[in-house]
Structure 1
Amino acid sequence: MFGQRFLVIYSGVLTAAFAVSMLAGFAKSPVATFDEINVHRINVREPDGTLRMVISDSAKFPGVIVKGKEQPKVDRPQARMIFFNDEGSENGGLIFGGKRDAHGDVVDSGGSLSFDRYNANQVVQLLGVDDKDNRMAGMAVSDSQENGSRHRRLWVGRSADGSALLSLMDGGGNKRIQMTVASDGAAEIDFLDANGKVIKAIRGDSASP
């Protein structure tokens, strides 16, 4: 009987000592190392719980989050890494995607790196799209008003037909100057009015009114 009681007490002491040593080890070494992790979503938060970054597959990605409150979820089929400001509002991110639909057409294919203005939409975006609907790559710069509208002011990149483009817009987003170099080398500069009508064109060494 004494031997059994001793074993019970002894095992209890060992268990307690092991638990204390494990807790002490975690307190001293909060960093864990893994060779490989499979996850659907990772949330990075500040000590007060403010969300600062989400890395997620398309299925687990949330709707747009503004000041910590998630808006109704919309279809965003790409995998994403989204950043949030100090107030927990989405303010830029990195996305990639691409697949074939039931008809065999490539859809939602491409990537984008965007930077948002505080409490507003994108002001700089690097993107590349190559699917059944769009084929383009380049950079867009926009005027984005706080709690308001956004108008693109500059686009530089490649169009679907292989032309290199530089488009300059006015404050209302209307294209006013477009420089184009086609894949065969033909170059052109167009000046446009607010309605998009070409009012002057320069092609090569010749000019037309």
Structure 2
Amino acid sequence: MDASVARQLRFLRAYTLVSTTLLLVLGLAAFTRAGQPAKQRFTEIDVERINVVEPDGKLRMVISNRPRSIGPIYKGKPFGYAGGTRPGIIFFNDEGTENGGLTFTGRRGPDGKFQSSVGMSFDQYNQDQVLYLQYADQNGQRRMGFTVADRADVDIYDLVAERDSIMKLPEGAARTEALRRWQEPRDGQPLFAQRVYVGRDVAKSALVNLSDRSGKPRVRLVVDSLGRASLDFLDETGRVTYSLPDSGRRSR
């Protein structure tokens, strides 16, 4: 046998052996991955964002840091403003539309002053938040509380699109008037009306406000920073019509 032919045969045998071995390894690896359980356990992971999705790919929950945080999503479509501003957790409904979340911030600036906030909210269907807990602190000027609100039955995607269209108009009287009309109630319902607030204000008073459908306070219960308690009833103009304790009792 010619020496060159022998070398070629040896090469072909070696090539066949290596190729067969690689195919076996790849096949075994594929089989092993396919046989692995769907549930995995990790002692610790570092991650910048986690998307929890349905089998069809619709978002159900996003957990992220600030730079990778998601902007508003309506039925799977971004709208309103870009992401990158809401570190925390955002929830989505069955249709892939945002319907609440938990966000938080907090930092001290170069001037030594700090700001901090935490909010957990739940949205009206195809609208914005109507039930939420909030804490906001501007260097010690802090407010915290629980809010129940009403919102007009108008689709938030259409509402934002209408506003964005108005904002494209040149600055001036026409745009100002268009924004005023945009902010008006829809079918008698304001775009937003706070109905119940229970919390603590920046004056260090504990308070409960109950408001009408227009968002105007009608009952106000307050315990101020000095421990004085009062209960006021108001008309739709904000005038106090009855108070407890009354003026005579307060002067004693």
Query: TM-score per shorter chain, which class?
Result: 0.7 to 0.9
Within the alignment, does 1:172 sit opposite 2:172 as a pair? no
Question: Of the candidates 42, 46, 49, which is equivalent to residue 54 of structure 2?
Answer: 46
Say which of 116, 134, 144 aligns to 2:123: 116
Question: What is the TM-score normalised by the length of structure 1?
Answer: 0.87
- Superposition RMSD in Å: 2.4
- 1:95 aligned partner: 103
**Counterpart in 1 of 2:74?**
66
What secondary structure, in the 3-state scheme, does the structure 2 residue paired with 1:24 have?
helix
Q: 2:132 aligns with which of 125, 137, 155?
A: 125
Corresponding residue of 2:228: 186
The CA deviation at 1:151 is 1.2
2:65 matches 1:57: yes
Deviation at 1:3, TM superposition (A): 4.8
Q: Give the Å deviation of 1:24.
A: 1.7
Q: Structure 1 counterpart of 2:151, which letter?
A: S
| Structure holding more helix per residue | 2
Bigger strand fraction: 1
Sequence identity of aligned pairs in percent?
37
The answer to whether residue 92 in structure 2 is matched with residue 84 in structure 1 is yes
In the superposition, the TM-score normalised over structure 2's length comes to 0.73
Distance in 1 separating the partners of 2:228 and 2:92: 44
Q: CA deviation at 1:128?
A: 1.5
Task: List alignment gaps of at least 5 residues for structure 2.
Answer: 1-6, 156-190
- Asked if 1 retains the 8 angstrom alpha-carbon contact of 2:70 and 2:83, the reply is no
Contact 2:69 2:86 in 1 (8 A): no
State how many pairs are aligned: 207
- CA-CA distance at 1:119 after TM superposition: 1.0
Shift of 1:207: 6.9
Structure 2 distance, partners of 1:35, 1:3, is 49
Equivalent pair of 2:58/2:76 in contact (CA under 8 Å): yes
Question: What one-letter code is carried by the residue in structure 1 that aligns with 2:213?
Answer: G
- Residue-by-residue CA offset, 1:10-49 (whole Å, 9 max, x unaligned): 2222221221122122222244443333222222221212
* 1:34 equivalent in structure 2: 42
Point out where structure 1 has 5 or more consecutive residues left out of the alignment.
none
Task: Name the SS for the 1:171 alignment partner.
Answer: coil
Structure 1, residues 73-125: CA drift from partner, whole Å, max 9, x if none?
A: 25864412001111111100011111123433212x12111111211221210
Kindly name which structure, 1 or 2, has the bigger radius of gyration based on alpha carbons.
2
